[in-house]
Chain A
Amino acid sequence: MVLLALMIAGAMLFSFGCADPAEPEDPADNGEEPDTPDDPDEEEPTDERGDLVWSHAGDPVWLNPVLEQAGSDIRTNKVLFDQLIVLNEEAEPEGQLAADWEISDDGHLVTVNLVQNAYFHDGEPLTAEDVVFTYSLHLNPEVPTRYGSDLWPLVGFEELTDEDDPADFEEYEPVVAADEYTVEFHLDFPFAGFVTEALTLGIVPKHVIEAQMEGDTAITEIPFNANPVGSGPFVFNYWDHENEMIFDAFEDYHQGHPGADRYIRRVIPDPTVRAMEQQAGSIDVMAVTDVDVLADLDADPDVDVYAVPGFGYRTLAVVNDHPLWEDSRVREAIAYGIDQQSAVELYGGPMADLAADGAPIGPISWAHHPDLEARPHDPDRALELLADAGWEQDDNGVLRNDAGEAFEFDLLTFPGVERHDMNLIFQENLRGLGMEVGAREVAAPDLMYQMYGSDHRDMIFIGWSMSVDPDGEMWRRWHSDEDDHNNFYNFRNDRVDELLEMARFETDQDVRRDYYHEVQEILDEELPGINVFYSVSNIAFRSNFHGMRFGADGWQDFIHAIYQDPIQ
């Protein structure tokens, strides 16, 4: 027992040793001087609104919404830059810089009227010219933006984004400043999802960026990217790389003074350390990504954890034209054969919501199909379906077809505790049916590489993300134009193609909902993949904070409204 106690103590010491946060860097070492006396190491008296301290795993790279790539860029830019619209809790558009907007009857023109009291942090007014300039950057093939493809319905999109011979923006004028505070978007295709997909881009100041790009300076080289001027509720102040960023409240913000005087973004890579800091009160908000950390925070009366439905969904995917998987009864047998409910309840916990087998659109979206459900765990039904498809157990309980081949494949997933655990449950469930299943974790790039091709036999437990407007993701995954590529299932169904095409060009949301419901009914019948759960984000706030709104694109879209109890 003494030996055991020593081993446990050693292991715990080791684990605590690993969890120590790195020493913060000395701001003086990075060659940058703060432009105000806001030295974070000095204790300052807090004023009446106080600070809002958010912790994240790493630094952003681009403080420019045109160039943003990673999640850390996007979430940081949201506090610095306003968008025309933001998405509310139901993923519906709500004006931010847009006072209102209108879609013409034929769907070819979207007119946006801007609020007239919005200013950039340098005091210049934000006008329609800034909006046009921002969209012209996104349509410039020399600008490495991740959002260019979202603008596909705009007039002249193909010509403007032709990398070899791009047309002039003025030649097509897809985005026009009708007057100082009115912007017109001209569409080649009447796409109903345009507002939610394309009007959620951060608006940048034309006068600053144009001046910095003079003399053919590439946009990726301008100082703006690390010292930005936005129009959002907080103003960039100070950046101690890989340690801390400080943003001051923008007093002239068009929606009123933000609820906090400073927004501080602190880098803490280890989720356990983040949680300890949160419980100690040195950070106010964090995203919780670990089930055990979540349990600790949930039990703390000084911390409130908010569960927010997300767009992610986790699915078991197979290549449908592989001989092992081409019979839909086999795929349905898998759905009955695995204990999805236990797996999700036990290992996804509050971070997962059991998904309907064939319906990838989760409850957060208006296109969610409420009548579809997960199949129950029913091994007998699974064996019946397998027998119908020509697979029967031999004397040793091994599932074989008429040719005597065993039913064997590997179940692959990315590394991660919850994926690992669910994978092992499914492996054991399927072994019970007589299948020989290996469970393997594969590094992300390898898994993506292995996914494509009709000779791919293995099943992949993978997470996808539904687009805010269902068109993007539904088309990518299920339209036959995308087979052998984004539709790596190689799923081909003429009716699904037809419905996706009609939904893309229909402007009436109710009609589109019907189309997407029918698509999901077909998917639920054919089961090209088996959805296991819809993701749920968990955000922990110190309980003295109020006014949070959890929009579909993140709580940062509504950060200006967050305030805390009066500081004593």
Chain B
Amino acid sequence: MTLVERLREKREDLRPMVRRFKRNKPAVLGLIIAICFLVVAIFAPHLAPYDYRVQDLERRMEVPSSDHPFGTDRFGRDIFSRVIVGTRTSVYIGFTATVMVVLLGAVIGIGAGFFGGSIESVLMRITDIFMSIPSMFLMIVFVAVFGPSLFNTIIVIGLTRWTGIARLARANTMAIRNEDFVEAGLATGASDLRIILRHVLPNIMAPIVVQASLFLGQAILTEAGLSYLGLGAQPPLPSWGNMVSDGQDYLTVAWWQATIPGAAIFFAVLAFNLFGDGVRDALDPKMKR
């Protein structure tokens, strides 16, 4: 079978799923909004009309106008530009943290589910320990020790939020592990790694992708929480979280400072959650009423 034929076959396999997804209107809306955020994030430097760092102390806390569609903050910085650049920060952290969570969770979950025995016991007890520590507490301690930065924010979200994926991967791997085709592969002398990559991974990808798409919104929310506490993106780099934090003291006199980035968080998380729900329903038709 040629590569083109193989791809065509794959596309045929996906067609019912895509059809189910398209019928789910909220999910499509979520996807559209998510794509908008992605486009804004990718082209942020070109879309922002002002340098997000430049202060204009003569024009502090100006109401939204044609010059500054989202107004200015207390340093006279353009909030529209800062929300755009903040989109890049939040989406970048959301995606990279999600990738890290998936990699870490999948490796541990598949390892536990596939090998069983003492390896499983050790890996799942580690998972239990991480689940029993309040993740926000762990994050604050980590950032306090290693210092706040974008990189550390990604690492800390990755290190504290992988447990759900690990449990999911383990349960699905255990189910696949007892399938005849896996037993057959082992009987033919195929290595564990080959069986995991060729047989286990493709069969457990669907639930992990669903979980990951739902986690994206959570990662953005977590980053916003950390930045709100001053532990995420550091000034002058904007993130939605630190913009809400900066603007909260001026809610009654300059509502736009906190509410606009707050609305951005709301819509981004909503969009990724709707999209994630849609993917889950599309991949698992049994769940659809």
Residues of A whose CB lies within 8 Å of any CB of B are: 3-4, 7-8, 11-12, 15, 292, 339, 342, 346, 415, 417, 421, 424-425, 427-428, 431, 438-441
Contacts and interface: CB of A to CB of B under 8 A. Distances in A.
Interface stretch (B41-49, B103-111, B173-181, B255-263): B255-263
Contacts of A8: 251, 255, 259
B55 to A, nearest CB: 5
Contact of B249 (A342, A417, A427): A417
B263 A7 contact: yes
A342 B57 contact: yes
Contacts of A417: 249
B74 interface: yes
B53 A431 contact: yes
Interface string B237-279: 0000000000011011001001100110010000000000000
A17 to B, nearest CB: 14
Given A3-B266, A425-B75, 10 more contacts: A8-B255, A11-B248, A11-B258, A12-B251, A15-B251, A427-B236, A428-B53, A428-B236, A439-B235, A440-B234
27 contacts: A3-B266, A4-B263, A7-B262, A7-B263, A7-B266, A8-B255, A11-B251, A11-B258, A11-B262, A12-B251, A12-B252, A15-B248, A346-B57, A346-B60, A415-B230, A421-B74, A421-B75, A424-B75, A425-B55, A425-B57, A428-B53, A428-B54, A428-B236, A431-B53, A438-B234, A440-B147, A440-B148
Nearest to B253: A292
9 tightest A-B contacts by CB? Answer: A428-B55, A342-B57, A439-B235, A424-B235, A4-B259, A7-B262, A8-B259, A7-B259, A11-B251
Interface residues of B, number: 23
B236 A424 contact: yes
A441 B230 CA distance: 8
Nearest to A345: B57
A3 to B, nearest CB: 7
Nearest to B258: A11
Nearest to A446: B144
Nearest to A438: B234
Given A11-B251, A342-B57, A431-B53, A439 B234 contact: yes
Interface string B140-179: 0000000110000000000000000000000000000000
A339 B60 CA distance: 15
B-side interface mostly: loop
Nearest to A292: B249
A80 to B, nearest CB: 37
Contacts of B263: 3-4, 7
Contacts of A425: 55, 57, 75
Interface string B61-80: 00000000000001100000
B209 to A, nearest CB: 29
Contacts of B266: 3, 7
Nearest to A439: B235
Contacts of A11: 248, 251, 258-259, 262
Contacts of B249: 292, 417
Contacts of B258: 11
A438 B148 CA distance: 11
A421 B235 CA distance: 11
A400 B69 CA distance: 37
B64 to A, nearest CB: 12
Contacts of A428: 53-55, 75, 236
Contacts of A12: 251-252
A394 B148 CA distance: 29
Contacts of B262: 7, 11
Contacts of A441: 230
Contacts of A15: 248, 251
Nearest to A417: B249
A428 B255 CA distance: 24
Nearest to B147: A440
B255 to A, nearest CB: 6
Contacts of A431: 53, 236
A427 B54 CA distance: 11
B147 to A, nearest CB: 8
A339 B255 CA distance: 27
Contacts of A3: 263, 266
Nearest to B148: A440
A407 B78 CA distance: 27
Contacts of B148: 440
A346 B73 CA distance: 13
Contacts of B54: 428
Contacts of B234: 438-440
Contacts of A439: 234-236
A11 to B, nearest CB: 6
A339 B252 CA distance: 28
B113 to A, nearest CB: 42
A3 B266 CA distance: 10
A344 to B, nearest CB: 12
A115 to B, nearest CB: 50
A339 B147 CA distance: 28
Contacts of B147: 440
A346 B76 CA distance: 12
A8 B262 CA distance: 10
A438 B233 CA distance: 11
A114 B262 CA distance: 65
Contacts of B75: 421, 424-425, 428
Contacts of B57: 339, 342, 346, 425
